[in-house]
Amino acid sequence: MPRKPRSAAPAPTPAPLQLGRETHLPNSPDEARLDRIPNPQADTDYLVRFTTPEFTSICPVTGQPDFAHIVIDMAPGPFLVESKSLKLYLLSFRNHGAFHEDCTVAIGKRLVKEIKPKFLRIGGYWYPRGGIPIDVFWQTGKLPKGLWLPDQGVTPYRGRG
């Protein structure tokens, strides 16, 4: 007797976007969800910049707050990050204990994993603790030929503000 072919399991239904709905602040970056949407201009190279001048996390040693100005430059690929979900993701670091370098690079890597941009650059301009400002930069991908990548516009530390 011939076997019946197994039917493939149905693809999971994606969760609805957080945009346009009441949402709650995630307790941690791991719990935060980044929503992505199809890029309607995927055939065009362009740059998107997200700036978060009041980023906050917690020092994993002292428990004191750390503050940064985060700038994310991205040349989108097939997807865009939905900005409300990005905001909630970034806000979820407020109670997260991690060093400056870890926070900055983790944000960049998570965006690359979820959104798959052609190019991403993140600058974390951290305000001083113990008298030393720490600026962290990470990038991945190849900047599309001919695409203008402006300066991130954050002045070197001189009583930044």
Report the 3 state secondary structure along 79-101: EEECHHHHHHHHHHHHHCECCHH
21 has a pLDDT exceeding 80: no
Q: Which of 35, 66, 73, 103 is catalytic?
A: 66
- Domain boundaries defined on the chain: 36-141
The letter for the amino acid at 114 is E
The number of residues in the chain equals 161
2 has a pLDDT exceeding 70: no
45 is catalytic: no
pLDDT band at residue 33 under the 50/70/90 scheme: very high
Query: What's the pLDDT at 7?
Result: 61
Choice among 18-27, 30-39, 93-102 with the minimum mean pLDDT: 18-27
Choice among 41-50, 77-86, 149-158 with the minimum mean pLDDT: 149-158
Architecture, CATH, for domain 36-141 = 2-Layer Sandwich (3.30)
CA distances from 42 to 17, 23, 38, 77 (A): 20, 29, 8, 6
103 is catalytic: no
Query: What's the pLDDT at 149?
Result: 96
Q: Which of 59, 103, 135, 151 is catalytic?
A: 59
At 88, give phi and psi (nearest 5°). -65, -40
User: What percent of the chain is predicted at pLDDT more than 70?
Assistant: 88
Residues 82 and 35: beta-carbon distance below 8 Å: yes
pLDDT band at residue 22 under the 50/70/90 scheme: confident
Against a cut of 0.75, is the pTM above it?
yes
